[in-house]
Structure 1
């Protein structure tokens, strides 16, 4: 009996190890292919000019592969969508976990989670057909396909993830902490902001990381609603072309293993490093909040 149990445990351990190793191996293969196809562009085009050049004309003679406007567009869209999605998602989570009645929570939470199941093309289509004309007519801007439209649509995609995970983290705070705070004379709002939120910051940070990770690398939405202009925007209502949109729009037209082809893969490398930096920073913040929450407890 004991031998049979040991064999089962070893088989389960081997299965988990194989799954984890396969994931890492596949990721390593993707990175190898990405760098293999992207680095050759730097043999014919200076890396400094590639990163900080302001002109992207891959079909010109000679071509220009400056991705600085694309990089700025990606950063601005991510920051703008974060400014919308994080407060909205976290405040909705606080309402569902601490304020809403059980009946309201049972109705609203599934509806919020259902939003996460919407395909990105549907959200992009809504932004292009409905929200863009609204912006153009209401704000009297040159085009409704701009940075602000892309930020709102990406925030719309990120809010369900941020809200769902944050709400679970807040709802999981032990009742003893809340009761102790209330027993000491704190109000409901003081208990939420001084006890519940510090205790759940790690889970909230995880929700923010996952929600914004989806926004950073999103392709279809920014391709449809960002405007596609490879220029540095002067206002939030100017069209932009984030890096994922440029890769998706031009890869099918780039000659195989030509300079344009290699430049698009090099853009993918920059996007990968950008998302990696964001995730490392976000993990550091989450770990710091986890330590703060533990100290508070």
Structure 2
């Protein structure tokens, strides 16, 4: 690997655009591969990135490739496809998967790629697109210590907090634990908001009391920012994505032989929202679906009983 490795980035959406931008700002040569939305691709090309025709072409030209996609099947496709990473991989290539993925798939891919001389690292993300643009994401990294030393300067371009959790696979497991909490909190906040409204307490009052207390949190604040202020961009993470993560959490619990009553309960709210066509809604909008299940129009409640 050269002194300044050439970096690749597959998936330049909500999170990936900011991450890729900050890699460019770090002085690295960058190849990118997006999907159908040209806006982030054109933005990065305008900053100096080079667009790859395929993951194969990227693997032929890069030393370290990031993947930032929605799920494990997508990751598997860009690695194993006829024009995928393995089709163009050179010995010594490092692939960093920042997707929130299924750890079982991660371990299988890591073993498969090792046979080709490729090192697979899982480094899923914490925080939001805002922090991605600021270069202040949280990274939970699964890899050996020597690999961690190699990739740390690159990850440092887009992360404000970098934690090596353990060997490959542990990063994705840690991220699922984090998103288990997020999904359970979202279901809890949505249900509590409806209960408040049905009980004669404005969700705005509920927010104003809980927010500054020991029960408040950053997640609570952005969730309730949508509930109370109808700010659709308060937390730009889709119901579909968190529903997928909760399915992975349940599978992880099954593999570990752990009972998971809370994760299963939270999953049902998200599954219901997907079933009625709301998969693309952002997570705080779960509050509207839970409200409707209880005969409420949350927007009308806020308009009538807000401050």
Identify, as 1 or 2, the structure richer in helix: 1
Higher radius of gyration, 1 or 2 = 1
Identify, as 1 or 2, the structure richer in strand: 2
TM-score by length of 2: 0.28
TM-score by length of 1: 0.29
If asked which structure has higher relative contact order (CA below 8 Å, sep 6+), I would say 1
